[in-house]
């Protein structure tokens, strides 16, 4: 499990008598798939940027190799030229996705991998490269925790920590047969790991 601490910028709340941090999870974009609604993603990002939001990545950013696909490709002997061609195609897909996500650079609390990503010949993945391009920390392919640290800034005194909030996040797992299956999984997690916010893609 990866853990990261972060000091967010707070903004005035729309409905509460206090400041707040606005966080938009992004996951299961499946960029490149026929059903990917890129216009909706752009609107989501535009709204987030206009409203001083932060983003958390929950995996499956590109519609690319699943775990079983990656296993099969590792078992097959490919010419170097074929492997390089596949790497170039994934670089193009990632570049196209970054064209959409580009405005969010530096506004991410971290991102995790899902089931779909590409592993390049140099050992990096589309997800690790995405994190680097967005100036955020790659939090791995399991559960991750971001700890928001709220600091009171005062001209007369030193800055002091006034509170924290823990966000536990994970891409999630399949095999649920009911609409409530993801909530059941989160209920078990909440019994063993205390957080203020739980997110699952």
Exposed/middle/buried for 172, CB within 10 Å: 0-12, 13-18, 19+? buried
Region 49-74 average pLDDT:
83
Q: Has residue 179 got a pLDDT over 80?
A: no
Please tell me the distance from the alpha carbon of residue 126 to that of residue 93, in angstroms, as a whole number: 9
Better-predicted residue by pLDDT, 131 or 88: 131
> How many domains does the structure of the chain reveal?
1
Give the phi and the psi of residue 150 in degrees, each rounded to 5.
-100, 125
Q: What is the pTM of this model?
A: 0.84
Q: Has residue 68 got a pLDDT over 70?
A: no
Region 31-43 average pLDDT:
93
Residue 58, pLDDT score: 95
Residue 82, pLDDT score: 72
Please tell me the distance from the alpha carbon of residue 44 to that of residue 141, in angstroms, as a whole number: 24
Residue 86, pLDDT score: 80
Give the phi and the psi of residue 120 in degrees, each rounded to 5.
-80, 165
Q: Where are the alpha helices (DSSP H) in the chain?
A: 38-50, 67-75, 80-101, 126-133, 181-192
Residue 97, pLDDT score: 96
pLDDT tens per residue across span 79-115 = 677 778 888 888 999 999 999 999 999 999 999 998 8
DSSP string, 86-123: HHHHHHHHHHHHHHHHGGGTT-EEEE---S---B-TTS
Tokens 């064209």 found at: 99
Averaged confidence pLDDT in the chain: 85
Residue 71, pLDDT score: 65
For residue 186, the enclosing domain spans 2-200
Please tell me the distance from the alpha carbon of residue 21 to that of residue 19, in angstroms, as a whole number: 7
Task: Give percent of the chain with pLDDT exceeding 70.
Answer: 85
Better-predicted residue by pLDDT, 160 or 86: 86
pLDDT tens per residue across span 116-126 = 888 888 999 99
């Amino acid at each position: 499990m990866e853990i990261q601490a972060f000091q967010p910028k707070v903004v005035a709340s729309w409905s509460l008598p206090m400041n707040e941090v606005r966080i938009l999870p992004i996951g299961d974009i499946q960029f490149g798939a026929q059903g990917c609604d890129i216009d909706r993603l752009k609107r989501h990002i535009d709204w987030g940027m206009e409203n001083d939001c932060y983003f958390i990545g929950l995996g499956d950013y590109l519609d690319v190799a699943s775990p079983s696909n990656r296993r099969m490709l590792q078992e097959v002997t490919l010419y170097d030229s074929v492997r390089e061609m596949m790497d170039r195609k994934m670089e193009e897909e990632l570049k196209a996705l970054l064209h959409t996500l580009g405005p969010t650079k530096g506004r991410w609390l971290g991102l995790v991998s899902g089931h779909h990503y590409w592993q390049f010949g140099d050992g990096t993945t589309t997800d690790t490269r995405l994190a680097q391009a967005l100036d955020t920390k790659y939090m791995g392919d399991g559960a991750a925790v971001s700890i928001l640290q709220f600091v009171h800034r005062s001209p007369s005194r030193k800055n002091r920590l006034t509170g924290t909030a823990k966000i536990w996040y994970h891409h999630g797992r399949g095999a649920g047969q009911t609409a409530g299956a993801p909530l059941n999984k989160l209920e078990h997690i909440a019994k063993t790991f205390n957080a203020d916010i739980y997110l699952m893609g």
